[in-house]
Structure 1
Amino acid sequence: MPKLRETSLKLAIPKKGRLRDPAIKLLNKAGYAINDDPRLLHVYHSENDIDFLFLRTTDIPTLIEEGAIDLGITGKDNVLEKQANIHEVMSLEYGHCRLCLAGATPKPTQAKSAQTFSLQTLAKKNVATSFPFLARRFFKEHNIAAPHLIKLSGSLEIMIALKLCEAIIDIVETGSTLKENQLQIHHTIGHYYAALYTRNALVKDKRVILMKKRLTSALLAQNYRIIEYNIKKQLLNRAEAISPGFDSPTISHLDDPDRVAVKILVKKSNVFAIMDKLEAIGATAIFETEIKNCRL
């Protein structure tokens, strides 16, 4: 049994699944050194007095609400399903997914009436899902007589073939698994993402605020790049019109009195377009630098 400190901040990380590895990677970038060992249940970070706990993703909202832990990384879908009264500190910009209602893909030989899906056809029928609360709410909002919801925790795509149910409600990322199992999406119930959550009583806690700052810095570093280039002074206004940087560019003088060196902060997604435009107006020695951390 791990020894937990009485006064430490306790933060839960998903033990398994698609949210685990990106969470560890982001925390490491934010300065919290965590060993990526799947056997670990607990890591203590002495420098910041934080106990990192590896727990089931679906349990994290309840553990935060009950006060067993202070912070946790989990999906918004889990928080809504558990109806947990907790505070979202920040989106972590990964784990994007949808909760969808899916059914068997109609065969081309079927009549057109059979190929047209209606929610009414599911009234009082079997529907398999890992999200009974969200499913029940969805059918209620659409005034559909409540189907018989069968709660399962995985491999829902095969349940229609097993004739257990008429449809499934499950998390979808790309939709490729549904297609492989001859299923198609009929309705998107909601869009979700991974986020950092805390108890309502800790929203203004200095340690939570510091954690948010560090993670925000790591995300900014992940999403931004530095571009440096040389350009003639007479072209500087045109270059700044292409990209002025975050607040304004950093400009340094060169030995050549007619030219300057410029450094700007740009979004990673815009790097290639900006470099192309700068080159087109006469900028030279253009290069991109990755950022490990930053505060804006």
Structure 2
Amino acid sequence: MLAQDMESCKQIHKVLSADVHTRAGAAQLLGADPGPVLTDAGIADLEKASRAQLKQLEKMSQVCPEYDQAVAACHEAVATLKRQSAAEALPRYEALLKEGLSATRTLGARDLRWPRPIVMMKPESSCFSMPQGKARLALLCGPTAALSTQKLAETSARLGVRPKACALTWCMEATEASSSSAVCIGLEPAAAEPPLKRARTAGGPEGTVRVRHILFRHPQLRQVDPMARREGAARNVLEAESNALKLLQVLLKDPNQFIKSCRELSDCQTAEQPGQLAGDLGWLARGQQEASFEEVAFGLPVNSIGDLVSTSRGVHIIQRLG
């Protein structure tokens, strides 16, 4: 490599030695300002400096095994400086770089630190045939990952085909107070009879379903709701979801409590309708409600209670009547 071009050899050593994941290291490599905010002109200067670096490395492309890594490092230096970061958050962000990555292949992650090999950003996928019956896929992070398989299975058995309620329950059952997250995906064979056909035979107009609901509002809602009965008792979206989850567990044990609970707890004006019409939204066609609401309502069997649903109105518990 020295025989090919001494200056290019020195330059590629400089690039490979740079800590391009920190703002200070990236700025030193590109001769830029390490400040947390860049102007459009500053970004243009960064890209120009990166192209100049790459131009100096071209003679090493055929003789240096690490040439591709050096090119990636130059691009990463630009990405590091373009990434917006508040001054108070920068030390915490860069402290994560010391932890490294235990994986060898991960989508969206960047890890070019020498002497570790580059983490490949190529996704891997596999296919399998789901056996007859129902399956549940759980993605757990933080304290929820410590939950036992037995506890996860108990929650799934109790809440049935309600993945959002399962994921929220797992987060609430995590013993640590730090941030946690959970995703639950329900997998089940398609129903033998389409929901729309069942709705038609139940007496409603073709292509409609009849549902009633209980609504929990919270202060984070941005839209004015003309159908709101009141502002709601929840102080935030988490409390609204928690209240809805507690009520859902009660209703799954005793669905006959739906009317009474609707009158007492629902923040929708429909709760004030007389008799068995409390919470009743009537026969709904596609396009009358938000997509998340319709996905649950049109997929429910008649007389069943669905998963928790979040819309611009708040958090809903839905029961299909027809």
TM-score class, shorter: under 0.3
- TM-score, normalised with respect to structure 1: 0.21
Q: Which structure's CA Rg is the greater one?
A: 2
- TM-score, normalised with respect to structure 2: 0.20
* Structure whose residues are more often strand by fraction: 1
* Structure whose residues are more often helix by fraction: 2
Kindly indicate whether structure 1 or structure 2 has the higher relative contact order, using CA contacts under 8 Å at least 6 residues apart: 1
